[in-house]
Amino acid sequence: MTRLSTGPRNPWNLSIDAKGSIHDDETANDLGFRAGTVAGDIHLEQFGGLCVQTFGEEWFERGWISMQFLQPTAHREPVDAFLEGDGDVREAGLDTPEGTQIARGNAGVGDVSLSALSQKDRRGVNPSTLRMLRDVHPGLPTDPRTRRPNAADQRRRIGAGISTDPLEWYRESSPWGGGIASPLTTCQLLVAGVTDSIAASCGEFVGLYGAIEVVHLAGPVMLDAEYEITGEVLDVADSPKTEVLWFRTRAVETARPERGPVAEVTMMTRLLKASSPRWA
């Protein structure tokens, strides 16, 4: 069985100064976490090179990675990303050097119905049983956005040495012409701000990512292109400590809408009950 790994890398908590968020040490401590957490999309960036080694450059055209996060990590704590198996779908994971499982899922090219999140039972519930997500239901549109990938931030991370997988393709040129978006930049493009109206209906809360799937449908996502971002809620669910929002968004290049979606992201966000006055 083939296994490739990055070896230990030290992901930065890029939002450590975001007061009141789960990434802020004080807020995280108040909610029972030992430190501010590294966001899941930051962890995804560690898989870009592994996926190219495994599947070739085609991975950025029609490949995907699908991960559920099991344990949080703090600023610069080492994690080792790996892909294991053979064929068009491989097991994917993140572990600490001591062997603690941080995330598990899979990666592949082609049929995304084989992805870990596609196979997952989302255990949806009636929204009326919830307190924060009570006004949110499957099919509810996310907030549309028109924007470009944050190329400047991607290049800044590489230049500062804080990218865990700084492929040359993430800079100015690639096999597709210009620079392309990393998994982290792609996730930010498709997720940032799209649930603002949903969050406003939930009242005060602190949330954290529970699972992410990034899919290239007709990729890659180019840094110099503009995209229309649309999406919808897939499900709402519940656990003893959280309310759960599942949603999916897709990106269509503004200049070439006839191509259809270039990429899509499926996201599971956990809203912590302990952070909400509605659960006081």
Question: Average pLDDT, whole number, for the chain?
Answer: 97
What secondary structure letter does DSSP report for 126?
Answer: -
Give this prediction's pTM. 0.96
Domains defined for the chain, CATH in brackets: 3-111+124-279 (3.10.129.10)
Of 199, 187, 203, 206, residue with least CA distance to 267: 187
Task: Give 221-272 pLDDT, tens digit per residue.
Answer: 999 999 999 999 999 999 999 999 999 999 999 999 999 999 999 999 999 9
Token readout for 59 is: 């991975």
Q: At what angle do helices 183-191 and 151-159 cross, to 10 degrees?
A: 150
What's the pLDDT tens digit per position in 13-55?
Answer: 999 999 999 999 999 999 999 999 999 999 999 999 999 999 9
Q: What is the pLDDT of residue 174?
A: 98
- Residue 117's φ and ψ, nearest 5 degrees, are -75, -30
End-to-end CA, the chain: 50
Question: Per-residue pLDDT tens for 182-229?
Answer: 999 999 999 999 999 999 999 999 999 999 999 999 999 999 999 999
Give how far Cα 172 sits from Cα of 13, 50, 179, 227, 263, Å. Answer: 25, 21, 4, 19, 20
